[in-house]
Structure 1
């Protein structure tokens, strides 16, 4: 196992163009943008479906579609339609984000103890008050679990950005394969895996702090 590329200090210098830290920042940039856009789309829809019970087939079918849709194929289609650039990559990654957040939000809302919801309504709370003060806080653990799932999928899949000429850790894989530099390819795979683990641990701490703040003290 040749790890020379990974442990070469020159590849970790911020001043060097295409260094590993720069690629990590680009990779995280694509991931965060896709997560933000996907959350803005999926969370309100999931809350509405879970709160009203209308359109539940959307949440169920979205989960199935998300597991079966090939991200690279969708990216190539978007490039064909829109050309090269950041937009096709964000569309492909956002499509990957929406299903887990939508289905987890719907599942969290529908799994609530309806006696608590009925009690809130009996206290005179309006529908929006019930949604944001009662239902959403109770469903938050399931919603955050879906967000973590989406984040892991995106951070692992954002390597496809390099296939259309953008940056990110996929550059190590694409460029390494192009010149048969398997040490670079191995470095890219290791850094992507490590980044996914660190991101999951970070989001896990945030989830624990939000859901059970007393346990993090």
Structure 2
């Protein structure tokens, strides 16, 4: 009941430090991190998937980022950057760097895997039709890789949104504030309420990406393609062949 009381308390829904404000700041840090990560990962993923060059070096280096300790790296970057910057950016920049490093691997892997999964006969047919390399990348490889690309972005988004709570460790806003401040004041209702809001936010984003995938991805690239109805006039043998 303490959690419910904290969630319905009007003071927690208005003004600075409220649930909507902290959720908005949380989403802002996450969105900026994902945009920067996509700007880095998508071109690299297209290069690796299309050419196959540097796969071991690039993919190995990027996947090594998954092993980086997020909180430890954040504190280290703050200690290195804070002496050179006197304003709040001394904390914002390290937090964004940490989140970008977290988001790059799944996006890059999704793009590269999606392009590598394309049947080579499709690429050969495009070359036979006179498509240039740029046309093959833009009109065939990227659209065909869209399902796995969205899957990578989806995974990166959930990881970043879940991990962005670490920004509160360096005095930044976000939903992590409720967890840190609640722990400091032994206010477990605030800690649990903040965690619940974060979980709901992650679920909403998950559902949003599922809907986005159904909207953007061509049915021909999924199992959602619907068979054409069989005209009643077809005989039984023909209908059986059509169904098979």
TM-score tier, shorter chain, comes to over 0.9
Give structure 1 regions of 4+ aligned residues with deviation exceeding 2 angstroms.
Answer: 212-215
Distance 1:59 1:143, change over 3 A: farther
Match of 1:183 in 2: 189
Is 1:43 aligned with 2:45?
no
Deviations 1:32-78 (A, max 9, x none): 00000000000000101110010111453245323322111111111
Unpaired segments ≥5 residues, structure 1: none
The structure that has the greater radius of gyration is 2
- Aligned position for 1:75: 74
Matches within 5 A, 1:114-133: 114-133=120-139
Structure 1 residues 48 and 213, CA gap change in structure 2 (3 angstroms): same
* In structure 2, distance between residues paired with 1:155 and 1:53: 31
Structure 2 counterpart of 1:86: 92
Residue 174 (structure 1) aligns with: 180
In the alignment, is residue 95 of structure 1 matched against residue 96 of structure 2?
no
The unaligned stretches of length 5 or more in structure 2 are: 83-89, 225-244
Contact between 1:148 and 1:203, CA under 8 Å: does it hold in 2?
A: yes
In the superposition, the TM-score normalised over structure 1's length comes to 0.94
Structure 2 length as normaliser, TM-score?
0.84
**Equivalents in 2 of 1:146, 1:116: separation in Å?**
23
Q: 1:142 aligns with which of 132, 145, 148?
A: 148
Counterpart of 1:8 in structure 2 is 9
Relative to structure 1, the CA distance from residue 147 to residue 59 in structure 2 (aligned partners, 3 Å threshold; closer, same or farther) is farther
Aligned partners of 1:62 and 1:103 also within 8 Å: no
SS in 1 for 2:28: helix
CA RMSD of aligned residues (A): 1.5
Equivalent pairs counted in the alignment come to 213
